[in-house]
Amino acid sequence: MPFADPTSRISNIVHYLQQDVMARRNDHSREELVEMTLRCVEEHLDTQPYHNLSLRKIAAQIGYVPSTLVNVFGSYNILLLHVVARTLDDLRSQAAQKLTEVTNSKQALFTLAHLYLEFASNNPYRWQLVFEHSMQGDKLPDWQNNRIQNMTGILESLLKQLSPSKTDEQVVEASRVLWAGVHGITLLAVDDKFFTSVPVNGAELIDNLLTGYLRSWTDT
Share of the chain above pLDDT 70, in %: 88
At the topology level, CATH places domain 83-220 in Tetracycline Repressor; domain 2 (1.10.357)
Count of other CB atoms within 10 angstroms of residue 101: 9
pLDDT digits (tens, 9 = 90+) for 143-168: 999 999 999 999 999 999 999 999 99
Confidence of residue 27 (pLDDT cuts 50, 70, 90): confident
pTM across the whole model: 0.85
Q: Average of pLDDT values for 66-78?
A: 96
- Determine contact, residues 190/124, Cβ cutoff 8 Å: yes
Q: Where are the domain boundaries for CATH 1.10.357.10 in the chain?
A: 83-220
Quote the pLDDT of residue 197.
87
Count of other CB atoms within 10 angstroms of residue 15: 10
Query: Mapped to the 3 state alphabet, what secondary structure does the chain carry?
Result: CCCCCHHHHHHHHHHHHHHHHHHHHHCCCHHHHHHHHHHHHHHHHCCCCHHHCCHHHHHHHHCCCHHHHHHHHCCHHHHHHHHHHHHHHHHHHHHHHHHCCCCCHHHHHHHHHHHHHHHHHHCHHHHHHHHHCCCCCCCCCHHHHHHHHHHHHHHHHHHHHHCCCCCHHHHHHHHHHHHHHHHHHHHHHHCCCCCCCCCCCHHHHHHHHHHHHHHHHHHC
- Determine contact, residues 83/42, Cβ cutoff 8 Å: yes
Mean pLDDT score of the chain, rounded to an integer? 91
Q: At what angle do helices 168-190 and 142-162 cross, to 10 degrees?
A: 110
Quote the pLDDT of residue 20.
45
